[in-house]
Amino acid sequence: KMAGSSSPWIGSAYLFLQSTCKTVTLPALYESSQKKPRVFKALKLALADSTGSMNGVDMLKVHCSHPHLIVQLKFCKRESCRRFLQSYREGALHKSLQSHLQLSLAMTAVPLEMELKAGSEHLDDMLKDEDHCLECIYREKPDRLRDEEITELEESLKSLTVHQSINNNMVVKDCTPPSLPSLPPSSQGSSLSPQVTFIFQGQEFVNRTLLPDDHQKFAKLVSKKWKQVGRSLQKSCRALRDPVIDNLALEYDREGLYEQAYQMLLRFIQSEGKKATIARLISALEENGLISLAEELLGLHSTEDCS
């Protein structure tokens, strides 16, 4: 189809989730009126991470079918669906959802198994053939409108996020929907308050602007994944749109990975100024499974392999 076609690209898929921990049952958590909004929040944020937008994929319904939690997904753009598939294939969605569930439910860990289906097709068996996966998802048109419960949970999530922002003075992970009311300017101040914190690996850290030392460590250790981190940062940074990242790769090809990574983060710092914070970089590293690099930047020297 032509890009200018008036017919939108719409497809549907089912994401099957199961906890591999005997003490954690996802359907039971979702059926709990207290835990349901928190599980939904984790799902929403992880899906936003995977597509680069809060509107990249729509949840139509969440089914509880023990031991699975089954999420019916609707895609309205081919590119969003492609990003989702890439995130799913590379394990970024898996890592992101585990992290968000852990944080939302205040648990030490939520080990997961995931499966993706479109109609009778098991997409996990064909993930390397992205175009075929897209075709399967496109063939499956959504059989329902968004469930009323999902709409209610969306509203609940907005209330929860705003409540946490105001009362806990917490950094909400750069995934806050744009429709959420922001704090009044007097509360925000012109620079980062020393009380603003974020959570990583269950620990609380003071947020701050990126330092030259952070910049150099990142460039030295990120290796080939600098592009993926850049694409995670681009969700909230206009200066890192795809052409920019691709151009940096070409422009500094001879200088190697260190210089490419250094220049990418430099664009982020120059563009965002005081908003170029350690929390945003750590979130991007987590999303791409670069846990050891995140630990290095935060001065953690764990003997355990957390990645």
- DSSP per-residue string spanning 69-111: EEEEEEES-HHHHHHHHHHHHHTHHHHHHHHHHHHHHT-S---
CA distances from 44 to 40, 52, 57, 235, 274 (A): 6, 12, 9, 15, 28
User: Residue 298, class by beta-carbon neighbours within 10 Å (0-12 exposed, 13-18 middle, 19+ buried)?
Assistant: middle
Biggest distance spanned by C-alpha atoms of the chain: 56
Beta bridge partners of 68: 65
pLDDT along the chain (307 residues), means of 10: 62 96 90 91 93 90 93 95 96 93 86 94 96 96 88 76 47 40 35 64 86 93 94 91 88 92 94 92 94 91 43
Q: Is the peptide bond before 67 cis (omega within 30 degrees of 0)?
A: yes
How far is residue 292's CA from residue 72's CA, in Å, rounded to a whole number?
33
Q: Write down the pLDDT at residue 31.
A: 93
- Give yes or no for a contact between 152 and 144, defined as CB atoms under 8 angstroms apart: no
pTM of the model: 0.53
Residue 161 has a pLDDT of 54
Check residue 241 and give its pLDDT: 82
119's CB contacts (< 8 A; 6+ apart) are 136, 139, 140
Domains identified in the chain and CATH numbers = 11-153 (3.30.70.680), 197-298 (1.10.533.10)
Residues 6+ apart with CB under 8 A from 2: none
Q: How far is CA 258 from CA 38, 213, 261, in A?
A: 39, 14, 5
Strand order across the beta sheet in which 112-118 lies: 58-65, 68-75, 11-19, 112-118, 121-122
